[in-house]
Amino acid sequence: MPDSALPIFLLKRMYRTMVLIRRFEEQVADRVTAGEIKTPCHLYIGQEAIATGACLALEREDYVWGGHRSHGHYLAKGGDPNTLMAEIYGKAAGCAGGRGGSMHICAPEVGLLGTVPLVAATIPLAAGAALASKMRRDRRVSVAFFGDGATEEGHFHETINLAALYRLPVLFVCENNLYASHMHILERRIADNIAEAGAAHGVPATVVDGNDVLVVYEATRAATERARQGLGPSLIECSTYRWRGHVGPSWDMDVGLKRKDELQEWLARDPIARLAEVLIGRGVGREELENVDRECLAVVEAAVKFAQDSPYPDPGEVLAHVL
Protein backbone atom coordinates (compact mmCIF):
# COMPACT_ATOMS: atom_id res chain seq x y z
CA MET A 1 0.00 0.00 0.00
CA PRO A 2 1.48 3.37 -1.01
CA ASP A 3 2.23 6.07 1.51
CA SER A 4 -0.58 8.51 1.37
CA ALA A 5 -0.43 12.27 1.37
CA LEU A 6 -4.07 12.33 2.41
CA PRO A 7 -4.81 14.07 5.71
CA ILE A 8 -4.81 11.82 8.72
CA PHE A 9 -8.40 12.71 9.72
CA LEU A 10 -9.58 11.39 6.36
CA LEU A 11 -7.63 8.15 6.79
CA LYS A 12 -9.16 7.74 10.22
CA ARG A 13 -12.63 8.31 8.77
CA MET A 14 -11.95 5.65 6.18
CA TYR A 15 -10.81 3.26 8.86
CA ARG A 16 -13.85 3.88 11.01
CA THR A 17 -16.18 3.44 8.04
CA MET A 18 -14.61 0.15 6.96
CA VAL A 19 -14.63 -1.22 10.49
CA LEU A 20 -18.25 -0.18 10.94
CA ILE A 21 -19.21 -2.05 7.77
CA ARG A 22 -17.21 -5.14 8.82
CA ARG A 23 -18.72 -5.26 12.29
CA PHE A 24 -22.19 -4.57 10.95
CA GLU A 25 -21.95 -7.42 8.46
CA GLU A 26 -20.48 -9.83 11.00
CA GLN A 27 -23.34 -9.01 13.31
CA VAL A 28 -25.83 -9.63 10.51
CA ALA A 29 -24.14 -12.97 9.78
CA ASP A 30 -24.45 -13.99 13.42
CA ARG A 31 -28.09 -12.97 13.58
CA VAL A 32 -28.87 -14.88 10.41
CA THR A 33 -27.23 -17.94 11.93
CA ALA A 34 -29.21 -17.40 15.12
CA GLY A 35 -32.41 -17.38 13.09
CA GLU A 36 -33.34 -13.79 13.95
CA ILE A 37 -32.89 -12.48 10.43
CA LYS A 38 -34.72 -14.12 7.53
CA THR A 39 -34.33 -11.71 4.62
CA PRO A 40 -31.58 -12.91 2.24
CA CYS A 41 -28.40 -11.01 3.15
CA HIS A 42 -25.51 -10.66 0.70
CA LEU A 43 -22.60 -9.67 2.88
CA TYR A 44 -20.05 -7.04 1.94
CA ILE A 45 -17.21 -8.45 4.04
CA GLY A 46 -13.91 -8.18 2.16
CA GLN A 47 -15.09 -5.41 -0.16
CA GLU A 48 -15.28 -2.57 2.42
CA ALA A 49 -12.53 -0.50 0.79
CA ILE A 50 -14.60 0.09 -2.35
CA ALA A 51 -17.74 1.59 -0.83
CA THR A 52 -15.60 3.49 1.64
CA GLY A 53 -13.01 4.85 -0.76
CA ALA A 54 -15.64 5.84 -3.30
CA CYS A 55 -18.25 7.33 -0.95
CA LEU A 56 -15.71 9.33 1.04
CA ALA A 57 -14.57 10.91 -2.21
CA LEU A 58 -18.12 12.19 -2.80
CA GLU A 59 -20.13 15.09 -1.43
CA ARG A 60 -23.16 14.47 0.72
CA GLU A 61 -25.44 15.67 -2.11
CA ASP A 62 -24.00 13.24 -4.65
CA TYR A 63 -26.14 10.26 -5.57
CA VAL A 64 -25.30 6.63 -4.96
CA TRP A 65 -27.08 3.52 -6.29
CA GLY A 66 -26.48 -0.11 -5.45
CA GLY A 67 -27.59 -3.68 -5.81
CA HIS A 68 -28.25 -6.74 -3.71
CA ARG A 69 -24.93 -6.42 -1.79
CA SER A 70 -25.28 -2.85 -0.61
CA HIS A 71 -25.22 -2.61 3.17
CA GLY A 72 -21.69 -1.25 2.73
CA HIS A 73 -22.76 1.47 0.30
CA TYR A 74 -25.52 2.54 2.65
CA LEU A 75 -23.21 2.84 5.64
CA ALA A 76 -20.32 4.41 3.72
CA LYS A 77 -22.59 7.13 2.31
CA GLY A 78 -23.62 7.98 5.85
CA GLY A 79 -26.94 6.14 6.23
CA ASP A 80 -28.20 5.47 9.75
CA PRO A 81 -27.13 1.99 10.97
CA ASN A 82 -30.23 1.75 13.18
CA THR A 83 -32.72 2.10 10.33
CA LEU A 84 -30.69 -0.27 8.14
CA MET A 85 -30.65 -2.96 10.81
CA ALA A 86 -34.35 -2.39 11.47
CA GLU A 87 -35.04 -2.86 7.76
CA ILE A 88 -33.08 -6.12 7.76
CA TYR A 89 -35.18 -7.20 10.74
CA GLY A 90 -38.33 -6.29 8.79
CA LYS A 91 -39.39 -3.60 11.22
CA ALA A 92 -41.53 -0.50 10.73
CA ALA A 93 -38.64 1.78 11.69
CA GLY A 94 -36.55 0.35 8.82
CA CYS A 95 -35.23 2.63 6.11
CA ALA A 96 -37.92 1.27 3.76
CA GLY A 97 -40.61 0.79 6.40
CA GLY A 98 -40.16 -2.98 6.35
CA ARG A 99 -41.06 -3.29 2.68
CA GLY A 100 -37.54 -3.64 1.33
CA GLY A 101 -35.56 -6.03 3.49
CA SER A 102 -31.82 -6.37 2.98
CA MET A 103 -31.89 -5.94 -0.79
CA HIS A 104 -34.11 -2.87 -1.27
CA ILE A 105 -32.65 -0.13 0.87
CA CYS A 106 -32.45 3.63 0.61
CA ALA A 107 -31.19 6.65 2.48
CA PRO A 108 -32.31 9.60 0.36
CA GLU A 109 -31.26 12.01 3.10
CA VAL A 110 -27.64 11.20 2.26
CA GLY A 111 -28.09 10.61 -1.48
CA LEU A 112 -28.57 6.83 -1.53
CA LEU A 113 -31.59 6.84 -3.81
CA GLY A 114 -32.02 3.10 -3.92
CA THR A 115 -30.51 -0.34 -4.18
CA VAL A 116 -32.32 -3.24 -5.84
CA PRO A 117 -31.41 -6.88 -6.45
CA LEU A 118 -32.38 -6.96 -10.11
CA VAL A 119 -28.80 -7.21 -11.35
CA ALA A 120 -27.61 -4.10 -13.24
CA ALA A 121 -30.96 -2.35 -12.89
CA THR A 122 -29.64 0.71 -11.09
CA ILE A 123 -26.95 1.36 -13.72
CA PRO A 124 -29.37 3.20 -16.06
CA LEU A 125 -31.10 4.80 -13.06
CA ALA A 126 -27.78 6.26 -11.93
CA ALA A 127 -27.20 7.64 -15.39
CA GLY A 128 -30.71 9.11 -15.30
CA ALA A 129 -30.00 10.92 -12.06
CA ALA A 130 -26.82 12.22 -13.69
CA LEU A 131 -28.87 13.42 -16.64
CA ALA A 132 -31.15 15.26 -14.20
CA SER A 133 -28.12 16.86 -12.54
CA LYS A 134 -26.74 17.90 -15.89
CA MET A 135 -30.07 19.50 -16.84
CA ARG A 136 -30.34 21.28 -13.50
CA ARG A 137 -26.63 22.21 -13.55
CA ASP A 138 -26.45 21.25 -9.88
CA ARG A 139 -22.92 19.77 -10.13
CA ARG A 140 -23.95 16.52 -8.49
CA VAL A 141 -22.27 13.30 -9.48
CA SER A 142 -24.15 9.99 -9.55
CA VAL A 143 -22.42 6.71 -8.77
CA ALA A 144 -23.58 3.25 -9.81
CA PHE A 145 -22.08 0.41 -7.78
CA PHE A 146 -22.47 -3.00 -9.37
CA GLY A 147 -20.72 -6.35 -9.52
CA ASP A 148 -18.93 -8.13 -12.33
CA GLY A 149 -22.08 -10.12 -13.11
CA ALA A 150 -23.95 -6.91 -13.91
CA THR A 151 -21.63 -6.21 -16.83
CA GLU A 152 -23.20 -9.21 -18.57
CA GLU A 153 -26.55 -7.44 -18.73
CA GLY A 154 -27.59 -5.22 -21.63
CA HIS A 155 -28.34 -2.47 -19.09
CA PHE A 156 -24.60 -1.93 -18.63
CA HIS A 157 -23.66 -1.73 -22.30
CA GLU A 158 -26.61 0.40 -23.35
CA THR A 159 -26.11 2.78 -20.46
CA ILE A 160 -22.38 3.28 -20.83
CA ASN A 161 -22.99 4.27 -24.44
CA LEU A 162 -25.73 6.75 -23.52
CA ALA A 163 -23.69 8.20 -20.66
CA ALA A 164 -20.75 8.77 -23.00
CA LEU A 165 -22.96 10.21 -25.71
CA TYR A 166 -24.67 12.66 -23.35
CA ARG A 167 -21.47 13.28 -21.32
CA LEU A 168 -23.23 12.50 -18.08
CA PRO A 169 -21.66 13.10 -14.66
CA VAL A 170 -21.89 9.44 -13.71
CA LEU A 171 -19.33 6.98 -12.33
CA PHE A 172 -19.62 3.30 -13.07
CA VAL A 173 -17.94 1.51 -10.19
CA CYS A 174 -17.65 -2.20 -10.92
CA GLU A 175 -16.74 -4.33 -7.93
CA ASN A 176 -15.22 -7.34 -9.61
CA ASN A 177 -15.20 -10.00 -6.89
CA LEU A 178 -14.74 -12.73 -9.52
CA TYR A 179 -18.01 -14.52 -8.83
CA ALA A 180 -21.60 -14.08 -9.94
CA SER A 181 -23.35 -16.30 -7.44
CA HIS A 182 -21.43 -19.60 -7.89
CA MET A 183 -19.87 -18.92 -11.29
CA HIS A 184 -16.32 -17.68 -11.74
CA ILE A 185 -15.84 -14.84 -14.19
CA LEU A 186 -13.93 -17.08 -16.63
CA GLU A 187 -16.90 -19.40 -16.79
CA ARG A 188 -19.01 -16.43 -17.85
CA ARG A 189 -16.85 -14.59 -20.34
CA ILE A 190 -13.84 -15.26 -22.50
CA ALA A 191 -11.53 -12.99 -20.50
CA ASP A 192 -11.46 -11.02 -17.26
CA ASN A 193 -11.53 -7.75 -19.19
CA ILE A 194 -14.51 -5.74 -17.99
CA ALA A 195 -12.73 -2.40 -18.13
CA GLU A 196 -12.16 -2.77 -21.85
CA ALA A 197 -15.84 -1.98 -22.34
CA GLY A 198 -14.94 1.62 -21.47
CA ALA A 199 -12.67 2.16 -24.46
CA ALA A 200 -15.29 0.74 -26.81
CA HIS A 201 -17.60 3.60 -25.82
CA GLY A 202 -15.02 6.32 -25.34
CA VAL A 203 -15.27 6.18 -21.56
CA PRO A 204 -12.00 6.32 -19.62
CA ALA A 205 -11.62 3.16 -17.57
CA THR A 206 -9.16 2.16 -14.90
CA VAL A 207 -8.57 -1.06 -13.02
CA VAL A 208 -7.62 -0.51 -9.42
CA ASP A 209 -6.87 -2.64 -6.39
CA GLY A 210 -10.26 -2.72 -4.74
CA ASN A 211 -8.75 -3.79 -1.46
CA ASP A 212 -6.75 -0.58 -1.21
CA VAL A 213 -9.05 2.14 0.03
CA LEU A 214 -6.57 4.86 -0.87
CA VAL A 215 -6.39 4.01 -4.56
CA VAL A 216 -10.18 3.62 -4.74
CA TYR A 217 -10.46 7.06 -3.15
CA GLU A 218 -7.97 8.62 -5.57
CA ALA A 219 -9.59 7.03 -8.62
CA THR A 220 -13.04 8.19 -7.52
CA ARG A 221 -11.76 11.67 -6.79
CA ALA A 222 -10.26 11.97 -10.27
CA ALA A 223 -13.43 10.64 -11.89
CA THR A 224 -15.72 12.99 -9.93
CA GLU A 225 -13.57 15.97 -10.89
CA ARG A 226 -13.81 14.98 -14.51
CA ALA A 227 -17.57 14.55 -14.19
CA ARG A 228 -18.05 17.91 -12.47
CA GLN A 229 -16.08 19.61 -15.22
CA GLY A 230 -18.62 18.31 -17.71
CA LEU A 231 -16.20 15.82 -19.27
CA GLY A 232 -18.52 12.85 -18.82
CA PRO A 233 -18.53 9.41 -17.26
CA SER A 234 -15.75 7.12 -16.04
CA LEU A 235 -15.57 3.41 -15.40
CA ILE A 236 -13.62 2.23 -12.38
CA GLU A 237 -13.14 -1.50 -12.06
CA CYS A 238 -12.13 -2.50 -8.55
CA SER A 239 -10.56 -5.95 -8.17
CA THR A 240 -11.73 -7.55 -4.98
CA TYR A 241 -13.13 -10.69 -3.41
CA ARG A 242 -16.10 -11.50 -1.28
CA TRP A 243 -15.08 -13.53 1.73
CA ARG A 244 -18.47 -15.00 2.44
CA GLY A 245 -20.90 -16.79 0.16
CA HIS A 246 -23.06 -15.23 -2.51
CA VAL A 247 -25.81 -15.02 0.06
CA GLY A 248 -25.80 -15.68 3.77
CA PRO A 249 -23.05 -16.12 6.33
CA SER A 250 -21.31 -19.24 4.98
CA TRP A 251 -17.72 -19.17 3.68
CA ASP A 252 -18.93 -20.60 0.39
CA MET A 253 -16.63 -23.59 0.26
CA ASP A 254 -19.10 -25.56 -1.82
CA VAL A 255 -18.14 -23.87 -5.07
CA GLY A 256 -14.97 -25.85 -5.57
CA LEU A 257 -11.36 -26.17 -4.45
CA LYS A 258 -10.23 -23.20 -6.44
CA ARG A 259 -12.18 -20.97 -4.13
CA LYS A 260 -10.45 -22.36 -1.03
CA ASP A 261 -6.97 -21.45 -2.32
CA GLU A 262 -8.14 -18.09 -3.56
CA LEU A 263 -9.79 -17.23 -0.28
CA GLN A 264 -6.54 -17.72 1.64
CA GLU A 265 -4.78 -15.31 -0.72
CA TRP A 266 -7.51 -12.73 -0.41
CA LEU A 267 -7.79 -12.98 3.37
CA ALA A 268 -4.13 -11.90 3.41
CA ARG A 269 -5.16 -8.78 1.48
CA ASP A 270 -7.65 -7.65 4.10
CA PRO A 271 -8.42 -4.01 3.24
CA ILE A 272 -8.88 -3.07 6.89
CA ALA A 273 -5.55 -4.56 8.03
CA ARG A 274 -3.83 -2.78 5.17
CA LEU A 275 -5.19 0.62 6.16
CA ALA A 276 -4.31 -0.10 9.78
CA GLU A 277 -0.68 -0.52 8.71
CA VAL A 278 -0.74 2.83 6.94
CA LEU A 279 -2.22 4.51 10.00
CA ILE A 280 0.36 2.97 12.29
CA GLY A 281 3.04 4.09 9.85
CA ARG A 282 1.65 7.61 10.21
CA GLY A 283 2.01 7.42 13.98
CA VAL A 284 -1.47 6.31 15.07
CA GLY A 285 -1.36 4.05 18.11
CA ARG A 286 -2.82 0.52 18.08
CA GLU A 287 -4.89 1.47 21.08
CA GLU A 288 -6.68 4.16 19.09
CA LEU A 289 -7.51 1.62 16.40
CA GLU A 290 -8.81 -0.81 18.99
CA ASN A 291 -10.99 1.97 20.36
CA VAL A 292 -12.46 2.55 16.90
CA ASP A 293 -13.22 -1.12 16.77
CA ARG A 294 -14.97 -1.07 20.13
CA GLU A 295 -16.95 2.04 19.22
CA CYS A 296 -18.11 0.53 15.96
CA LEU A 297 -19.13 -2.66 17.71
CA ALA A 298 -21.14 -0.58 20.18
CA VAL A 299 -22.88 1.22 17.31
CA VAL A 300 -23.76 -2.11 15.70
CA GLU A 301 -24.99 -3.63 18.95
CA ALA A 302 -27.14 -0.56 19.52
CA ALA A 303 -28.51 -0.99 16.00
CA VAL A 304 -29.44 -4.60 16.76
CA LYS A 305 -31.13 -3.51 19.96
CA PHE A 306 -32.98 -0.76 18.09
CA ALA A 307 -34.13 -3.28 15.49
CA GLN A 308 -35.17 -5.89 18.03
CA ASP A 309 -37.16 -3.35 20.05
CA SER A 310 -38.96 -1.84 17.04
CA PRO A 311 -42.45 -3.03 16.18
CA TYR A 312 -43.30 -4.87 12.98
CA PRO A 313 -45.22 -2.89 10.37
CA ASP A 314 -48.97 -2.78 10.84
CA PRO A 315 -50.49 -5.52 8.64
CA GLY A 316 -53.29 -3.07 7.87
CA GLU A 317 -50.77 -1.04 5.90
CA VAL A 318 -49.77 -3.79 3.51
CA LEU A 319 -51.16 -1.85 0.56
CA ALA A 320 -49.79 1.57 1.56
CA HIS A 321 -47.44 3.24 -0.95
CA VAL A 322 -48.81 1.47 -4.01
CA LEU A 323 -49.20 4.41 -6.36
Partner 1 sequence: MRTLTYVQAIREAHAQLLARDPRVFVIGQGLWSPWYAGGSMQGLETEFGRDRLLDSPVSENATTGLAIGAAISGMHPIVFHPRMDFMLLAVDPVVNQAANWSYIFGGRTKAPVVIRAVVNRGGEQGAQHAQALQAMFMHVPGLKVVMPATPHDAKGLLIAAVNDGGPVLYIDDRWLYNEAGEVPEDFYSVPIGEAARRRSGRDLTIVATSVMVKECLRAAESLAERGIECEVIDLRSIKPWDERCVIESASKTGRLLVADAAWRTCGVAAEIAATVAEKAFCRLRGPIVRVTLPDAPAPSSRSLEQAYFIDATYVISAAESMLGAREE
Distance CA 225, CA 205 (A): 15
DSSP-assigned beta bridge partners for residue 238: 175, 208
CB atoms within 10 A of CB 3: 9
> In this complex, which beta carbon is closest to partner 1, that of residue 99 or of residue 228?
99
- Shortest distance, position 299 Cβ to partner 1, whole Å: 22
> Is 220 a binder of partner 1 (CB under 8 A)?
no
- Shortest distance, position 304 Cβ to partner 1, whole Å: 21
Q: Tell me which stretch binds partner 1 (CB under 8 A): 3-11, 115-123, 181-189, 301-309.
A: 115-123
Binds partner 1 by CB under 8 A, chosen from 67, 100, 147, 245:
100
> Is 210 a binder of partner 1 (CB under 8 A)?
no
Binds partner 1 by CB under 8 A, chosen from 46, 66, 114, 147:
114
CB of 227 closer than 8 Å to CB of 164: no
175: left (phi over 0), alpha (psi -120 to 50) or beta: beta
Q: Tell me which stretch binds partner 1 (CB under 8 A): 7-15, 40-48, 154-162, 184-192.
A: 154-162
**Measuring CA to CA, how many Å separate 39 from each of 27, 85, 102, 280, 312?**
14, 11, 6, 38, 14
- Shortest distance, position 149 Cβ to partner 1, whole Å: 15
Distance CA 66, CA 224 (A): 18
Distance CA 154, CA 128 (A): 16
In terms of Cα–Cα distance, which of 71, 125, 111 is closest to 94? 71
Binds partner 1 by CB under 8 A, chosen from 104, 242, 244, 269:
104
CB of 96 closer than 8 Å to CB of 53: no
> Is 322 a binder of partner 1 (CB under 8 A)?
yes
Binds partner 1 by CB under 8 A, chosen from 58, 86, 95, 207:
95
Q: Tell me which stretch binds partner 1 (CB under 8 A): 3-11, 113-121, 213-221, 228-236.
A: 113-121
> Is 41 a binder of partner 1 (CB under 8 A)?
no
Containing 115, the helix (H) or strand (E) segment is strand 112-115
What residue ranges bind partner 1 (CB under 8 A)? 63, 65, 94-100, 104, 106, 108, 113-114, 116, 118, 121-133, 135-136, 142, 154-155, 158-159, 161-162, 165-166, 320-323
